[in-house]
A and B are shown apart, each in its own frame.
Chain A
């Protein structure tokens, strides 16, 4: 290689920085959202909120993916993907706002910022808290109190009493408790304390059943079961748990008329179009009218779908951007799962490994439940689509879970760099250089 002068050297260094994978990825993401928001904001007359979002959302992505990980060795790829999904949620909500008089897009952008703060807090929690013995009990008691709160002062929305209203804002405690659930279950499992583990899961499930919040109860149960299997490897008891869940499902089907109706709607929604099949039928029509490529951003009629902004937002994505885009979104979730599991695998302490696995399992199960429901693979259950759905509590809980994962990842990186530094220094002393430098 020919020798470079100083200027060339500087240019080369600059180019190397520009061509870092995270920069290459984030640049495309920022371009995506800038052009998309610009397009919608010019739809009828120039909308200044849209123009603002066209700059703010890419800036948030840049801050979260490039700037925030400078303070600790976070997983930038995970960060980039999660931020893309969050920004996609903001985009979809803003595009469906249109002339409806709602401002969910702008609200969601605020929630997105809030979620980033929640993520930061969770990273710091995992990174710097070393003594969990007392703290975990405080968290457990607090979480139980929080999740039981709607029973006392809750309001009923969509048949489930899982919301509490403080002033003008409403809050869903079972979402926030997800973070605590992962921490508590991982802690007790890594210390091999089964009694408090079972007690916590049982109390949570009981409270959720009282609130009739079946979707969240299903997520909690699956997460608990996966964590139990993963940490104990006891296939027999896991099978008993699965059978119990199946038996409960069959019992519920036999006993309750509304469960029966829900299954019938799942099998043929068109038959019940006038009543309970309306939602899923509208979802299917939306997905079908999108086709492979979609009807175009800001076009179509997504607002005829009930709860298009939370549960059925995947149908809106498929309608506007097409099924291929939807599948690529699923691939992104799959990458999140892969990264989560590889973080869990490379964690050196059981507690951290279980945290990472718990987060991954919870997000994966939740994604499957809602996307399988929207695509009519399983009966539709009212849970939110992680990162994308509208809602502050959902955003905070999902970003908090990702924060736990990032915290574990940063600890892994610390451990590895410590080992690496020893070897690197030894090599330097010997006048050598490590092969990968």
Chain B
């Protein structure tokens, strides 16, 4: 009996621990993912509120009304065709075809779930229909429309899918979050639905693709961190190919660069050198640096739902590790995340959390939520960031990214040509990430063109245009 009583108490502790575990997990998951669950496009609850509430307006940073609602509570988009098409992945459409847009993710504000009791009573007194809160975004609709136009007009990106992200690297404001192809939220959806390019898909935050050579920013940081003679070490690219585990690593177009330093290798985007660097520093160190930059992390940003980026952890052999150094081999990231990587280098290694909401105001004008910038992580030290910044400037001035250069601006960047597959076809995606090194224009840019073949040719020209618009040139 004595031992039995002891065991009774053990079981009591066990059962109560189980219940507490369930409760604690519930609190944790609701506080962490609650807004995501609620903002899910499957959620029919806020649509049920339509009867009593008129949803609030969505404005851009300059006060342009991107979306409003009529007296029945139906969404309308008062801007022109170009703007409303370019903004559709951010703002959302009437049927909720695009998931995790502002319209659904901020539903608790827009549909008046945050309205206080006094305001409800006030609405009841005046007899008017209750209105949801107005949400002002950090996005610049003019800029985003221009980028969409550039995508459509420039030769190498015409008709191709892609994404472009512009961020303020000091504060984390997202100035543009474009995904192409776009579509008109007021138009017919029949053709859009069957489009093989899947226009409903918001590529800027949902498309997790191999970052290709743009990942070499992280490899370079890791090499500088972990290799003592990183700046003087000579990498062997005399043949243009490296044999690892009886498999070959080669450069784009079998170029060969001879014995080169890290700086030169970065400038010419030499896969062989970065493969050797990745093997020298080892998978563990590279993974550590990548995770410092946000890979394998669960992105739980306040305003944005972003797919998680991956740095592979399983089935690692030397060949895979070597390719990882060049941003291939199941390394994958979204355009927004690569923009954050460039922004971290620009901001002395401090990665800011991307922010989409400038402010939320009640219909009467009372501010419910203001803009606060938040540091996401310290990705690397300022010294390393400064070194890599120098490398990235070389890329734009005399390397693969010359097309992005703008007269009179100090621009740093990195191109990328990533091999991936779409529906079983092997294709090459074009990447460009970069930023303006100027305190007056603290903007980082990431451009991604699906099947763009070469980053320097398809993505960098678009970045060139963006830099121009940002600085008013």
Contact = CB atoms under 8 A, between A and B. Distances in A.
Which of A231, A288, A323 has the most C-beta atoms of chain B within 10 angstroms of its own C-beta?
A288
Given A230-B7, A361-B15, A327 B38 contact: no
Interface string A284-299: 1111110100000000
Interface in A364-389: 364-365, 367-368, 371-372, 375-377
Nearest to A314: B26
Contacts of B30: 287-288, 291, 323
A246 to B, nearest CB: 16
A377 B25 contact: yes
B16 interface: yes
B19 A285 contact: no
B26 A327 contact: yes
B45 A345 contact: no
A304 B40 CA distance: 15
Contacts of A198: none
B9 interface: yes
Interface string A263-303: 00000001001000000010011111101000000001100
B22 A285 contact: no
B44 A304 contact: yes
A288 B42 contact: no
B5 interface: yes
Contacts of A229: 7, 11
B78 interface: no
Interface string A123-137: 000000000000000
Contact of B19 (A230, A270, A301, A367): A367
Given A226-B11, A341-B11, A334 B3 contact: no
Contacts of B301: none
Contacts of B12: 337-338, 341, 360
A287 B8 contact: no
Contacts of B29: 375-376
B45 A330 contact: no
B48 interface: yes
Interface in B175-220: none
B21 interface: yes
B330 interface: no
Given A367-B19, A368-B19, A376-B29, A284 B7 contact: no
A233 B22 contact: no
Nearest to B44: A304
Interface string A322-333: 010011001001
Given A281-B42, A304-B44, A375 B26 contact: yes
Contacts of B159: none
Nearest to B36: A288
A285 B43 contact: yes
B38 A375 contact: no
B7 A289 contact: no
Interface in B1-42: 1, 3-5, 7-9, 11-12, 15-16, 18-23, 25-27, 29-30, 33-38, 40, 42
Choose among A341, A353, A357 the residue with the greatest number of B CB atoms under 10 Å from its CB: A341
B8 A345 contact: yes
A88 interface: no
Interface residues of A, number: 44
Contacts of B33: 284, 288
A345 B25 CA distance: 30
B5 A285 contact: no
Contact of A291 (B4, B22, B34): B34
A interface SS class: helix
A73 interface: no
A219 to B, nearest CB: 13
B18 A368 contact: yes
A402 interface: no
A241 to B, nearest CB: 14
A350 interface: yes
A344 interface: yes
Interface string B398-426: 00000000000000000000000000000
A269 to B, nearest CB: 10
Contacts of A372: 18, 21-22, 25
Contacts of B43: 285, 289
A341 B22 contact: no
Contacts of A301: 44-45, 48
B45 A230 contact: no
Interface in A299-320: 300-301, 304, 318
A281 B40 contact: yes
Given A285-B42, A323-B30, A341-B11, A231 B18 contact: no
Contacts of A230: 4, 7-8, 11
A306 to B, nearest CB: 14
B223 to A, nearest CB: 36
Contacts of B20: 330, 334
A423 to B, nearest CB: 23
Nearest to A302: B45
Which of B37, B44, B45: most chain A CB closer than 10 A? B45
Interface in A187-242: 226, 229-231, 233
A327 B19 CA distance: 10
Contacts of B25: 372, 375, 377
Contacts of A357: 8, 11
A300 B23 CA distance: 22
Interface string A252-263: 000000000000
A357 B15 CA distance: 11
Contacts of A364: 15-16, 18-19
Nearest to A370: B22
Contacts of A361: 11, 15
Contacts of A375: 22, 25-26, 29
Contacts of B18: 364, 368, 372
Q: Which of B1, B11, B44 has the most CB of A within 10 A?
A: B11
B107 to A, nearest CB: 9
Contacts of A371: 19, 22-23, 26
A291 B16 CA distance: 24
B15 A345 contact: no
Nearest to B107: A289
25 contacts: A229-B7, A230-B8, A233-B4, A270-B40, A281-B40, A284-B33, A285-B42, A287-B26, A291-B34, A300-B45, A304-B45, A318-B26, A323-B26, A327-B27, A334-B20, A337-B19, A341-B12, A344-B8, A357-B11, A368-B19, A372-B18, A375-B25, A375-B26, A375-B29, A377-B26
Interface of B: 1, 3-5, 7-9, 11-12, 15-16, 18-23, 25-27, 29-30, 33-38, 40, 42-45, 48
Closest 10 CB pairs of A and B: A288-B37, A364-B15, A341-B12, A375-B26, A288-B38, A288-B34, A368-B18, A372-B22, A330-B23, A284-B37
Given A327-B26, A357-B8, A360-B11, 20 more contacts: A230-B11, A231-B4, A281-B40, A284-B33, A285-B40, A288-B33, A288-B37, A301-B44, A323-B30, A330-B20, A330-B22, A341-B9, A345-B5, A361-B11, A371-B19, A371-B22, A372-B22, A375-B22, A377-B22, A377-B25
